[in-house]
Amino acid sequence: MSISIVQAMINAIDKPAIFIDPQYTILAVNEAYRDTYENEVVVGNSRCFEISHGHTSPCDKHGEECPIQSCIKTDRTSSVVHIHNTERGKTYCDIIMKPVKDADGITTGFLEILDRIDFASADSQTNKMIGSSEPFKRLLTKINRAAKSEIAVLLQGETGTGKELVAKALHESSRRAEKPFVVIECTGLNENLFESELFGHEKGAFTGATHAKSGLIEIASGGTVFFDEIADVPLSMQVKLLRLLETHCYRTVGGLKQRKANFRLICASHKNLLDLVESGQFRKDLYYRIAGFPISLPSLAERSEDIKGLILHFLSHSELRHKKFSSAALKRLSEYDYPGNIRELKSIVEQATLLANEDLIEVHDLPEQIFARPAKPQISDSEILSLEEAEERYLTEVCESQNMSIDELAEKLEVSTRTLYRKLQKFGLKYE
């Protein structure tokens, strides 16, 4: 494929795009890409990592996954989230890298298309989603992809992981961003109140209905409706909600006229909805209506690399933002397991700033809950085991401590009896 054809193809793309040879040299670029970066692109000379990162060597030499190397290894399109140095500063970008082949099927280069993620940042001073860990980056990819679609999104994760923040990011990055974002708190709503809140009611529909009231579905018209803790919707109301989602029509309480609904659906739950489906507490048909695109939010323990950045973020937005945490206090905070996740971390930061008598917040200024739970054990480099070593050590301990049958043990380990026998043989273990 000639460069002129490639250039024409890139010019037709409305997102920042470049064509790169296997040596990382940029051979074609569109104006959207040039406008994105401060560094000037010299076609035939500039390399992608020089423009995007300011590096003198590829991304994989700096601890990041290189999408070109992924393409080479798999011979397929790859994607990755990186932080790039753009004209707006350090910015998250969702990168798609596609191999480009000639008539003989030989890869001659790679097409890189960028999608800037504006709802997240690694900079603690911003009002965006904060983080830089790999679980956080994987979450950003899912949010960014889902935001471009009208698909129903189900957010699942522990309490305090930021489900409403993600819902807002989905809305603000969608084509409905200029329309309302309406939150429906499902917890604590009884059947009658839920229906009235959702659909609205007519004057005289029930005792106390002295005037007509618009429902949240009407208020959200053209925008996004976020059902928080959807698991708490009464079974009887789940039927009506399902009908709303299937027909996109509803009636107000006491009304006869059928109304048209126009909204994007996002739901959230800290409960496992599939478990509730199995137990008959949540309708299966409703589940598959709301779970078009499930997103699992990682706990703070899973993204512990982000704790320091989040601490600095909450501190910078507190009333006592002039205060600072000592290195010892930051270390102790990073060792805590945060059962309440990000919400708990925010509360701890706020408490510490108030408890500290000095501008420097020390370990003794931290709230009592930090010391009520044991700190997470810190693993040194010398203590890290290979996965094979860890498996062998665990199976050894199991064989020495258990007396159930081999079939029962295999079931507990969620492997076949044959697989368990094979692993025991591999490590020279016997299970009597």
Output the pLDDT for position 302: 93
d(CA 420, CA 9): 54
Residue 72 corresponds to which tokens in the numbers above?
A: 């080479």
Q: pTM score, two decimals?
A: 0.81
Q: Is the domain of 274 the same as that of 362?
A: no
What is d(CA 288, CA 276) in angstroms, rounded to the nearest whole number?
Answer: 13
CATH number of the domain enclosing 235: 3.40.50.300
CA 334 vs CA 143, 225, 330: distances in Å: 26, 35, 6
Q: Which domain holds residue 292?
A: 148-296
The answer to whether the CB of 327 falls within 8 A of the CB of 296 is: no
Tokens of 103: 């008539």
Q: Do 157 and 188 have their domain in common?
A: yes
Tally of domains within the chain: 4
Q: Which CATH number fits the domain that encloses residue 104? A: 3.30.450.20
Alpha-carbon Rg for the chain, nearest whole angstrom, is: 27
Nearest Cα to Cα of residue 117 among 154, 158, 160, 146: 146
The reply to whether 46 and 112 lie within a common domain is yes
User: Is residue 31, in this structure, part of any structural domain at all?
Assistant: yes
Based on the fold, state whether residues 273 and 332 are members of the same structural domain: no
pLDDT of residue 84: 93
Mark which of 296, 325, 347 sits at the end of a domain. 296
Tell me which DSSP letter residue 232 carries: G
130 within a domain of the structure (yes/no): no
- pLDDT, position 377: 57
Q: What residues pair up with 214 in beta bridges, in sequence order?
A: 200
Say yes or no: 167 and 285 in one domain: yes
pLDDT at residue 375, as a whole number:
59
Query: Which of 248, 277, 296 finishes a domain?
Result: 296
Report if residue 95 sits inside a domain.
Answer: yes
Same domain? 103 vs 177: no
Are 353 and 323 in contact by the 8 Å Cβ rule? The answer is: yes
Q: What is the spatial distance between Cα 153 and Cα 167, in angstroms, rounded to a whole number?
A: 9
Please tell me whether residues 113 and 26 are part of one structural domain: yes
Residue where one domain finishes, among candidates 260, 276, 296: 296
Sign of the torsion formed by the C-alpha atoms of 270, 276, 277 and 281:
negative
The CATH number of residue 327's host domain is 1.10.8.60
Domain co-membership, 163 together with 234: yes
Cα–Cα nearest to 315, from 345, 336, 340, 338: 345
My answer on whether 306 and 353 are in the same domain is yes
Query: How many whole angstroms separate alpha carbon 409 and alpha carbon 292?
Result: 36
Domain assignment present for residue 129? The answer is: no
- Give domain status of residue 338, yes or no: yes
Do 364 and 335 sit in the same domain of this protein?
Answer: yes
Neighbours of 376 (CB within 10 A): 13
74 and 95 in a common domain: yes
Contact in structure between 1 and 100 (CB atoms under 8 Å): yes
Q: In terms of C-beta density within 10 A (0-12 exposed, 13-18 middle, 19 or more buried), how is residue 113 classed? A: buried
**Are 175 and 314 spatial neighbours (Cβ–Cβ below 8 Å)?**
no
In a domain, 356, yes or no: yes
Both 158 and 281 in one domain: the answer is yes
Cα gap 282→304, rounded to integer Å: 33
pLDDT digits (tens), the chain, 432 positions? 688 888 998 999 999 999 999 999 999 999 999 999 988 999 999 999 999 999 999 988 888 889 999 999 999 999 999 999 998 888 999 999 999 988 888 899 999 999 999 999 988 878 899 999 999 999 999 999 999 999 999 999 999 999 999 999 999 999 999 999 999 999 877 777 888 888 887 776 676 777 888 889 999 999 999 999 999 998 888 999 999 999 999 888 887 888 999 999 999 999 999 999 999 999 999 999 999 999 999 999 999 999 999 999 999 988 888 999 999 999 999 999 999 999 999 999 999 999 999 999 999 999 998 987 665 555 556 667 788 888 888 888 888 888 888 888 887 887 888 888 888 888 888 887
Amino acid 415: pLDDT: 80
Tally of residues, the chain: 432
Asked whether residue 285 is assigned to any structural domain, the reply reads: yes
Q: What sign results for the dihedral spanned by CA atoms 10, 11, 15, 19?
A: positive
Q: Report if residue 135 sits inside a domain.
A: no
